[in-house]
Amino acid sequence: MISISDVKKIYQSKSGPISAVDGVNIDIGQGEIFGVIGYSGAGKSTLIRMLNGLEVPTNGTVNVNGQIVSKVKGKDLRQARQSIGMIFQHFNLLWSRTVLENIQFPLEIAGVSKKERLRRANELLELVGLDGRGDAYPSQLSGGQKQRVGIARSLANNPDVLLCDEATSALDPQTTDSILDLLVDINKRLGLTIVLITHEMHVIKKICHRVAVMEQGKVVELGDVLEVFRNPKEQVTKRFVREVSQVEETGETIDHLLAQYPKGKVLKFTFVGESTEQPLITSLIRRFDLDVNILQGQISQTQKGAYGTLFVHLDGNEETVQAAVSFAEEQMVKVEVIGG
């Protein structure tokens, strides 16, 4: 569906060339929800803008649904963009037009008849949950409702791909979740390929199938969301995972745990998928002569299963503790001894 091949984007500045995107290779499948995450300046916005021709690569090719977007111009580019919808952080609605008129705008540009424009706009209003608000103006809508209008407008031309540029960054957490749920529903109903960029790991965790982590213009890590959560390799990825897991793993916190429990061992258990449903702690208590204290933990849901971390303190003789660790690993739980 989408193939990004050895793409580079270099800007010229007074201080010299700036490499915004540096040798990126990504393939995205039909119907996939693919996330690109990175902090400010990582190159993710430049990358997504190259998918619809708003930016042209300095080197490399961008192929979207068989069309080399990085090569076409003029009329061919405008036609290619009709199959690529886009929603933005700040909605980009026309404030002098009603909701229905905003949704119809891309169809108006495409030369679709007034009757067909109205039919399609009402159909999309229902899809995004805004029945009855067609005559309202953007100033009369909440942030979440404005983004729903933006989503409806982006779907007007029946695109094959939907690009989301920090689409939930301006929204509160509850509204963010409702918009993400809507995107998942649209993906399932329409089989739409969705590519989103964000600096929030919560967004990736909630709806994405795969994720690319960007830093300084490069993709430093790429894989299934669940696998990236389970085994983040790069420091930037580990930082994102810590943010969303809500489990502090700083040296200061670990030192505090070790000071509080000087005897025995402090362990970090990492659970993925079906292992999150196993009664591991109950089994440890029943099978081994140990004192088991749960210190802190968190379980999160992703599109491909659950991911969780749990810090525990095991107090007992060395041989028994080691046997308990081995038992936990046999249950497909990753075990890390952090002290003791």
Mean pLDDT, range 279-304, rounded to an integer: 83
Q: What is the pLDDT of residue 199?
A: 93
Query: Tens digits of per-residue pLDDT, 152-203?
Result: 999 999 999 999 999 998 899 899 999 999 999 999 999 999 999 999 998 9
Residue 162, burial from CB neighbour count under 10 angstroms (0-12, 13-18, 19+): buried
Token pair for 210: 């795969």
Domains annotated on the chain, with CATH: 2-236 (3.40.50.300), 246-339 (3.30.70.260)
Q: What is the pLDDT of residue 281?
A: 86
Q: Is the separation of the CB atoms in 320 and 288 below 8 Å?
A: yes
Q: What is the pLDDT of residue 146?
A: 95
Q: Which residues 6+ apart lie within 8 Å of 293 measured at CB?
A: 261, 312, 313, 315
Q: Is the separation of the CB atoms in 38 and 55 below 8 Å?
A: no
pLDDT of 275 strictly over 80: no
- Distance in angstroms (rounded) separating the CA atoms of residues 208 and 250: 27
Identify which has the larger pLDDT, 313 or 198.
198
Q: What is the pLDDT of residue 9?
A: 96
- Average model confidence (pLDDT) across the chain: 88
pLDDT of 263 strictly over 90: no
Q: What is the pLDDT of residue 254?
A: 62
pLDDT of 207 strictly over 80: yes
Token pair for 106: 């891309």
pLDDT of 332 strictly over 60: yes
pLDDT of 60 strictly over 80: yes
Q: Are strands 218-224 and 210-215 parallel, antiparallel or unpaired?
A: antiparallel
Mean pLDDT, range 107-130, rounded to an integer: 94
Mean pLDDT, range 309-326, rounded to an integer: 88
Q: Is the separation of the CB atoms in 224 and 232 below 8 Å?
A: no
Report pTM. Answer: 0.82
Which band of pLDDT confidence, cut at 50, 70 and 90, is reported for residue 223?
very high
- Residues 119-136 as b/e (b if ≥16 CB within 10 A, e otherwise) read ebbeebbebbebeebbee
pLDDT of 210 strictly over 70: yes
pLDDT of 12 strictly over 80: yes
Q: Which of 2-6, 142-146, 287-291 has the lowest mean pLDDT?
A: 287-291
Q: Is the separation of the CB atoms in 130 and 165 below 8 Å?
A: no
Mean pLDDT, range 40-59, rounded to an integer: 93
Question: What radius of gyration do the chain's Cα atoms show?
Answer: 24
φ/ψ (deg, to 5) at 161:
-130, 140
Identify which has the larger pLDDT, 307 or 70.
70
Q: Is the separation of the CB atoms in 207 and 184 below 8 Å?
A: yes
Q: Is the separation of the CB atoms in 324 and 314 below 8 Å?
A: yes
Query: Tens digits of per-residue pLDDT, 119-146?
Result: 999 999 999 999 989 999 999 999 999 9
Q: Is the separation of the CB atoms in 93 and 150 below 8 Å?
A: yes
Which band of pLDDT confidence, cut at 50, 70 and 90, is reported for residue 276?
low
Q: Which residues 6+ apart lie within 8 Å of 253 measured at CB?
A: none
pLDDT of 320 strictly over 70: yes
